[in-house]
């Protein structure tokens, strides 16, 4: 039932200068500013109901220059290709037959109450990417890794792909710190071609990574399949999906056996329904879902999907974990809650997308207080 008519719609370009500290830096994006196209829809309902939505970008993506959409150079840090997620839901029949999806959800009813209690008590397992951005110095990496270990983190991801010897040194540092028993993942952010990915990971295999994330272009499904086949003997899985914008691409990745870990992105896919279609397909193929959540509000959004996946769809935590980055949560009205390196179920109503108005005003580009100062300093 519609509770009111739309009375106001606002779209604001909100950017955070994360590039100043090297936060979010990787082999493809050396100086990203984590940003969001922040949309608020208000209604004339007496209860003041409103809806808030976010599309995560890397700065320039929020300009939404449609004439260049999809044609930015892959190495252009923050180009629209690397951030715009304003993709509508595709029409037509779902990739899974309705009966198949219904069957999965029916089976998910078994033990559902017990899994709900487990989530409320223990939360959903997470891994951290915050320790090892590519732009961090060795000292920063060591400091953040030591603190993460004190805080109970057991799963770590390191950015790789720009320089092999540099990767070897940094991976050695982090593996020495976390020890052989803790989980290490690697992320190349699309940097390599297929032969290069296989050769590079053969050199990094000694650090025992669970997976290599986005080893090549996210559009190259058969390339991922070839890399996957080559790395199986090394015990390294393929993780990808954060750039996939619809369920059809995921269907092809699954059918081609091109990944061992599926990474939905709550903003990239069009709507909750599109994400749920992918969760159902992942269950059908028995591939664990380990969401991407490095960005503005992505942790807040994806927590709802991943907890639902465990309770109602996958019913398993084997090889499953959700990414966590310790950046920008203070700007949200209902920030994600992490305890014992796990996502605790949100108890506030809604989808956790509402940002604090003070934060939006300060970081609105280019007229917010933060950007006025930074841009003035650049001119001088």
Instruction: Count Cβ atoms below 10 Å from residue 249 Cβ, excluding itself.
Output: 18
With beta carbons less than 8 A apart as the criterion, state whether 15 and 35 touch. yes
Instruction: Count Cβ atoms below 10 Å from residue 31 Cβ, excluding itself.
Output: 16
Residue 65: its pLDDT value, please? 55
Instruction: Count Cβ atoms below 10 Å from residue 20 Cβ, excluding itself.
Output: 10
Q: From the candidates 159, 304, 331, 363, which is the catalytic residue?
A: 159
Q: Radius of gyration (Cα) for the chain, nearest Å?
A: 20
Residue 306: its pLDDT value, please? 97
Identify whether 329 is a catalytic site residue.
no
Residue 61: its pLDDT value, please? 76
Residue 270: its pLDDT value, please? 81
Residue 3: its pLDDT value, please? 62
Residue 59: its pLDDT value, please? 78
Domain 6-71+357-379 = CATH 3.30.390.10: yes
Tokens 């393929």 sit at which residue?
238
Q: What value does the mean pLDDT of the chain take? A: 89
Residue 142: its pLDDT value, please? 97
> Structural domain boundaries of the chain?
6-71+357-379, 98-344
Residue 118: its pLDDT value, please? 98
Residue 96: its pLDDT value, please? 37
Structure tokens at 157: 């991801």
Nearest Cα residue to 132 out of 331, 294, 341, 299 = 294
Tell me the CB-side half-sphere exposure of residue 95, using CA atoms within 13 A.
24
Model's pTM, two decimal places? 0.89
Nearest Cα residue to 268 out of 297, 308, 288 = 297
pLDDT along the chain (380 residues), means of 10: 75 94 91 92 83 86 52 37 34 43 92 97 98 95 97 98 97 97 97 98 98 97 98 98 95 98 93 93 97 95 96 97 96 97 94 95 96 91
Residue 95: its pLDDT value, please? 35
pLDDT digit string (tens) for 110-154?
999 999 999 999 999 999 999 999 999 999 999 999 999 999 999
Residue 246: its pLDDT value, please? 93
Helix ranges (DSSP H) in the chain? 98-107, 112-122, 138-150, 164-178, 194-204, 221-231, 247-255, 271-285, 298-308, 357-363, 369-379
Report how far residue 276's alpha carbon sits from residue 281's, in angstroms, rounded to the nearest whole number: 9
pLDDT digit string (tens) for 2-59?
467 888 899 999 999 999 999 999 988 899 999 999 999 988 887 878 889 988 988 7
Q: Is 240 exposed, middle or buried (0-12, 13-18, 19+ CB in 10 A)?
A: buried
Identify whether 229 is a catalytic site residue.
no
Helix (H, G, I), strand (E, B) or coil at 37: strand
What is the CATH class of 98-344? alpha beta
Q: From the candidates 245, 283, 292, 304, which is the catalytic residue?
A: 292
């Amino acid at each position: 039932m519609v509770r009111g008519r739309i009375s106001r719609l606002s779209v604001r370009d909100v950017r955070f200068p994360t590039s100043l500290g090297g936060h979010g830096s990787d082999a493809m994006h050396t100086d990203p500013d984590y940003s969001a196209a922040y949309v608020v829809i208000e209604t004339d309902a007496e209860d003041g109901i409103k809806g808030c939505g976010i599309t995560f970008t890397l700065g320039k993506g929020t300009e939404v220059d449609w004439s260049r959409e999809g044609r930015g150079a892959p190495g252009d840090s923050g180009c629209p290709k690397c951030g715009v997620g304003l993709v509508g839901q595709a029409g037509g029949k779902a990739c899974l037959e309705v009966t198949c999806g219904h069957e999965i959800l029916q089976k998910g009813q078994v033990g559902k109450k017990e899994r709900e209690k487990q989530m409320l008590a223990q939360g959903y397992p997470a891994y951290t990417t915050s320790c090892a951005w590519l732009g961090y110095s060795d000292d920063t990496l060591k400091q953040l890794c030591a603190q993460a270990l004190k805080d109970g983190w057991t799963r770590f991801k390191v950015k790789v792909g720009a320089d092999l010897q540099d990767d070897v040194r940094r991976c050695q540092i982090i593996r020495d710190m976390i020890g052989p028993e803790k989980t290490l993942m690697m992320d190349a952010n699309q940097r390599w071609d297929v032969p290069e990915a296989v050769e590079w990971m053969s050199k990094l295999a000694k650090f025992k990574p669970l997976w290599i994330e986005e080893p090549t272009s996210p559009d190259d499904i058969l390339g991922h399949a070839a890399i996957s086949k080559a790395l199986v003997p090394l015990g390294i899985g393929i993780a990808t999906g954060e750039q996939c914008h619809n369920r059809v691409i995921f269907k092809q990745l699954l059918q081609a056996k091109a990944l061992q870990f599926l990474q939905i992105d709550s903003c990239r896919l069009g709507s909750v329904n599109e994400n749920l279609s992918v969760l159902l397909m992942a269950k059908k193929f028995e591939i664990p879902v380990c969401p991407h959540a490095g960005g503005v509000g992505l942790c807040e959004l994806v927590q709802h999907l991943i907890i639902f996946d465990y309770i109602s769809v996958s019913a398993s935590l084997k090889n499953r974990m959700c990414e966590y980055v310790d950046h920008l949560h203070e700007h949200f009205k209902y920030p994600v809650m992490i305890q014992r390196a796990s996502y605790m179920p949100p108890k506030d109503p809604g989808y956790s997308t509402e940002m604090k108005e003070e934060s939006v005003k300060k970081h609105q580009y280019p007229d917010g207080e933060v950007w006025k100062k930074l841009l003035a300093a650049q001119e001088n």
